[in-house]
Amino acid sequence: MTAKRFRLRVLSFINGQLSAWPIAVLALMVGAALTIMLALADNELYQRQLRQRFDMLAAERFSRLQERLDRQVTRLDTLCRFFIFSHQVEQSEFDGFVAPLLIGTQAYAWNPKVTLAERAAFEQQAREEGSAGYAIREMDENGALKTATVRNEYFPVRFIQTLSKVPTPSGFDIASEPVRHVALERARLLKRIVATPRISLLALDPSDTYGILLVAPVFSIGQSPSELRGYVTAVISVM
């Protein structure tokens, strides 16, 4: 082989190798781009599936909560009618009527309307009927109960049935707390059951820190205009 032919073959080999490099680089870039695109598409699909799963679970939970609220509204309406058509309800009658309704409910309570002029006699009567140390109370700035200040009217907890083993807030004026007070006024105005937004529960188990209060106004019958006698309430825990 002559030197000239050898040089030509070497140059041809080098040129072939040089021309293959751009193709290899291009193939590498295309492969990397496809890999990135597939990874992004897979991540987007995963995120979409997560969102769909979350939406489905949220809708399912909302549906269960709505069904639960509907059942509680029906039960509270039954308790409300019991008070409306009863001249006077004793503690034992309240306990017996409410006990079967407690499934799925943290507490039921009767909160009569008490005017300032009636307060002293009301508290004394409650103590004589077995509620030792009974007094109308309200929450202080730390959330502890204290003797209620002077107001024109009160709606204290008089009867209460609960599954909780924590001492009940007997005597607590539910109208003394702003969120509950708004619900009471709406129920009085609309003459129907009203629910509070999610609130901090008082004197229930530590696992039931937050919940919803359903409020049903009890009006007198046979009078025009009808007079508000008080409220029956139901406490529903919400995580």
From first to last of its 239 residues, the chain has per-residue pLDDT tens of 565 565 555 445 545 554 556 666 666 777 777 777 777 776 766 666 666 665 565 555 556 666 767 888 999 999 999 999 998 899 999 999 999 998 878 899 999 999 999 999 999 999 999 888 999 999 888 878 899 999 999 999 999 998 877 777 889 999 999 999 999 999 999 999 999 999 888 766 666 678 899 999 999 987 767 899 999 999 988 76
Whole-model pTM: value is: 0.72
pLDDT at 1: 52
Q: Is residue 33 part of a domain?
A: no
Exposed, middle or buried: residue 155 (CB in 10 Å: 0-12, 13-18, 19+)?
A: buried
Q: Is residue 2 part of a domain?
A: no
Q: 14 in helix, strand or coil? A: helix
Q: Is residue 87 part of a domain?
A: yes
Q: What is the dihedral of CA 13, 16, 21, 23, to 10 degrees?
A: -160
Q: Which long-range contacts (CB under 8 A, 24 or more apart) does 117-126 make?
A: 119/154, 122/156, 123/171, 126/158, 126/171
Produce one character per residue of 158-190: b if its CB has 16 or more CB atoms within 10 Å, e if not.
bbbbbebeeebbbbbbbbbbeebeebbeebeee
| Total number of domains constituting the chain | 1
Type of residue found at 132: A
CATH code for position 219:
3.30.450.350
Measured in degrees and rounded to the nearest 5, phi and psi for residue 200 equal -80, 125
Q: Is residue 135 part of a domain?
A: yes
Q: Is residue 52 part of a domain?
A: no
Q: Is residue 50 part of a domain?
A: no
Q: Is residue 18 part of a domain?
A: no
206/210 Cα distance (integer angstroms): 9
pLDDT at 222: 76
Q: Is residue 210 part of a domain?
A: yes
* 169 contacts 179 by C-beta, under 8 angstroms: no
Question: Can you point out the beta strands (E) in the chain?
Answer: 107-112, 114-115, 137-139, 145-147, 153-154, 159-162, 194-195, 199-200, 210-219, 228-237
- 39: which 2 tokens? 């990874």
204 lies in which domain range? 61-237
pLDDT at 3: 57
